[in-house]
Amino acid sequence: MTGMAHALLSLVLLMVVNPSHALTAQEMRSMVDGETDARIEALGKAVVQADEKTVLFLQALANDAVKLVGEQVLVAKGALGLDLLTGASTHLPDTAQDVISNNRLRGEIDTALAALKLFSPDNALRSAAAMALLKEPDAAKLPLLDKALSQEKDTRVAAWIRLAMAAAQLGSDDVSIRMQSAKTLAESKTPETQLQLNQRLSQETDPQVKAQLQASLRDIQGALKWGERLGTLFTGASLGSILLLVALGLAITYGLMGVINMAHGELMMIGAYATYMVQVAFRTYLPDAFDAYLVLAVPLSFLASALVGALLERSILRHLYGRPLETLLATWGISLMLMQGVRSLFGAQNVGVENPSWMSGGVQVMANLTLPYNRLVIIAFAVLVLVGMALLIGKTRLGLFVRGVTQNRPMASCMGVNTARIDTYAFALGSGIAGLAGCALSQVGNVGPDLGQSYIVDAFMVVVLGGVGQLAGTVYAALGLGLINKILEGWTGAVLAKICVLVFIIIFIQKRPQGIFAMKGRSAEA
């Protein structure tokens, strides 16, 4: 007996059924032989009076493990056939016929097995069963639903069962029952219920029921629109948090240091591949601790990108300060070299980074709005990185030196600050934050050599729009662009939305070249 069969058997033993009923040979024969409609009718009758043997038989049907040997119905167990009624096993002859179930019948079997979970001791399982029956209403399941409702003590589960009963009664011959069902279904606020009401509306002839159906549809449509609006806002905030992570590194390397780093996207890519390698190592050597691989991947992605950034600054970029065009061309060439290096090491195809189990799934806020855990974690991670960076720049000795070198390099040098070392530290910091962005991006998509190319332009737009060197401006610009982009996508499509955002930024910079926030003090013009 499989684990699923054991679970279903335990559920049935908890049911209040007619103890005198037991599965019969005729019932089994009716469910496996004949026309589809007749088999479905027999299945519905068996579910209402289900005993433990009925559940085992339905599970066998779902697994294509039922055989016909003459008039006898057996459940295949390897080379043996089990007679559920007597418990006897026998060798299956070569003449045993497979019981074939078409897609329609399979759906009915799955629904029947789900319906039996209405009697589970687990509230979540009972809710899921009621919701499944709400999506696939069947008047034949009304006795089962009524029995479940009479035993239900949890008010939330009982509400779902009532909705499932209302959906099953929506096609009743009684006008008053149809009217009450339409009123009750207005409470569900789900797209599936909206579809059911629309289908009933197209068939309804009674004016009063029609009016109630239309009123219920308006209620559901209003709730679904709010779900869509909130979903758009969340998606925009999610995109904004990703842009913020990507742009924070540029806020240092470009905003504070003035280096146009076209390889910033490839530093993100290095962080993402570092996360991928940590994942592979955990899967190979520490499979039991796989869910904790991000604890190690986060600092390693930062260190990997920071070390590459420090090497680039020491070997190439320190000789190009004050020459923006040469810096742009040099970093563009570096980006091509890094992409080709990754292609040589890992191949040109994308690699998949798996979410830990605690980041899978999401929080269902409304019927049509689920907030994925991985997106919520990235938003929280972006906030933590922002707070950490703000504290580092504003409250530490390194941050003081970085701000001093940025605002007045000759004076900082005269005060004994090793400006060359601070440049390296600052560039490594910006590169490390790019690595953290790559680690976060690996949790929402595949990792490939071209990963950084999708975000580098947007990241520069965020920094320029927010105001060069201004962390607060970077935050406002990232969240603002994320929200505007997602709102426009719903009206114009992704391509036109991107064009509109670009046009907006061009016009904004023409009117306010310093960005949302300008640097204060005389050093702004230095």
Tokens encoding 427: 């560039």
Task: Please calculate the CA angle 242-244-245 and round it to the nearest 5 degrees.
Answer: 65
Quickly state the pLDDT bin for 258 (edges 50, 70, 90): confident
Parent domain of 373: 232-525
Residue 385 sits in a domain of what CATH number?
Answer: 1.10.3470
Residue 303 lies in a domain: yes
* DSSP per-residue letters across 225-259: HHHHHHHHHHHHHHHHHHHHHHHHHHIIIIIIT--
Average pLDDT value for residue range 142-163: 85
Tokens of 365: 């806020």
Within-domain flag for 468 = yes
Question: For the chain, what is the domain count?
Answer: 3
Same domain for 350 and 253: yes
pLDDT in tens, 348-363: 889 988 889 898 888 8
Same domain, 78 and 135: no
Q: H or E segment at 295?
A: helix 293-315
Query: Do the domain assignments include residue 211?
Result: no
Residue 371 pLDDT exceeds 50: yes
Contact 302, 438 (CB under 8 A): no
Residues 56 and 75 sit within 8 Å (Cβ to Cβ): yes
In a domain, 141, yes or no: yes
How much is the average pLDDT of 238-252?
A: 86
- Which of 34-48, 113-127, 238-252: highest mean pLDDT? 238-252
Mark 98-108 as b/e (b = at least 16 C-beta within 10 Å): ebebeeebeeb
**Average model confidence (pLDDT) across the chain:** 83
Q: Has residue 483 got a pLDDT over 80?
A: yes
| SS3 state at 172 | coil
Token pair belonging to 416: 């004994």
330 and 197, same structural domain? no
Are residue 438 and residue 479 in the same domain, yes or no? yes
- Same domain as 246, residue 390: yes
Q: What single-letter amino acid sits at 235?
A: T
Q: Is the pLDDT of residue 409 over 80?
A: no
Task: Work out the number of other CB atoms within 10 angstroms of the CB of residue 319.
Answer: 11
Last residue of a domain, one of 170, 205, 240: 205
pLDDT score at 306: 95
Query: Based on the number of CB atoms within 10 Å of its own CB, is 202 exposed (0-12), middle (13-18) or buried (19 or more)?
Result: exposed
Name the H helices within 408-450: 409-414, 419-441
Q: What gap in Å lies between CA 92 and CA 74, rounded to an integer?
A: 9
Residue 212 domain-assigned (yes or no): no
pLDDT digits (tens, 9 = 90+) for 15-63: 434 444 577 888 888 888 888 888 888 887 777 666 677 778 888 888 8
Overall average pLDDT of the 153-159 stretch: 87
Mean pLDDT of the 457-463 span: 82
- Is the pLDDT confidence value at 495 over 90? no
CA angle (80, 83, 89) in 5-degree steps = 40
Interacting residues of 441 by C-beta distance below 8 A, sequence separation 6+: 242, 245, 268, 272, 447, 451, 455
Does the structure show a pLDDT above 70 at 256? Answer: no
In a domain, 100, yes or no: yes
Nearest of 190, 43, 46, 51 to residue 119 by alpha carbon: 51
> Which among 256, 141, 238 is positioned nearest to 479, based on CA atoms?
238
Give a yes or no: residue 246 inside a domain.
Answer: yes
User: 3-class SS at 327?
Assistant: helix
Report if residue 220 sits inside a domain: no
In the predicted model, what is the mean pLDDT of residues 327-339? 90
pTM of the model: 0.72
More confident residue, 472 or 521: 472
Last residue of a domain, one of 60, 88, 108: 108
User: Do the beta carbons of residue 468 and residue 515 sit within 8 Å?
Assistant: yes
Taking only the tens place, the pLDDT of each residue in 184-242 is: 888 888 888 888 888 888 888 888 988 999 999 999 888 888 888 888 889 888 888 88
Alpha carbon 94 to its chain's center: 48
More confident residue, 378 or 5: 378
26 vs 293: CA distance, rounded Å: 56
Q: Is residue 487 domain-shared with residue 350, that is, in the same domain? A: yes
Q: How far is it, in rounded angstroms, from Cα 285 to Cα 301?
A: 19
Do 183 and 265 fall into the same domain?
Answer: no
The Cα 369–Cα 385 span in angstroms is 27
Residues 338 and 310 in one domain: yes
Rounded distance between C-alpha atoms, residue 99 and residue 118, angstroms: 28
Tokens for 118? 């209405």
State residue 96's pLDDT score. Answer: 82
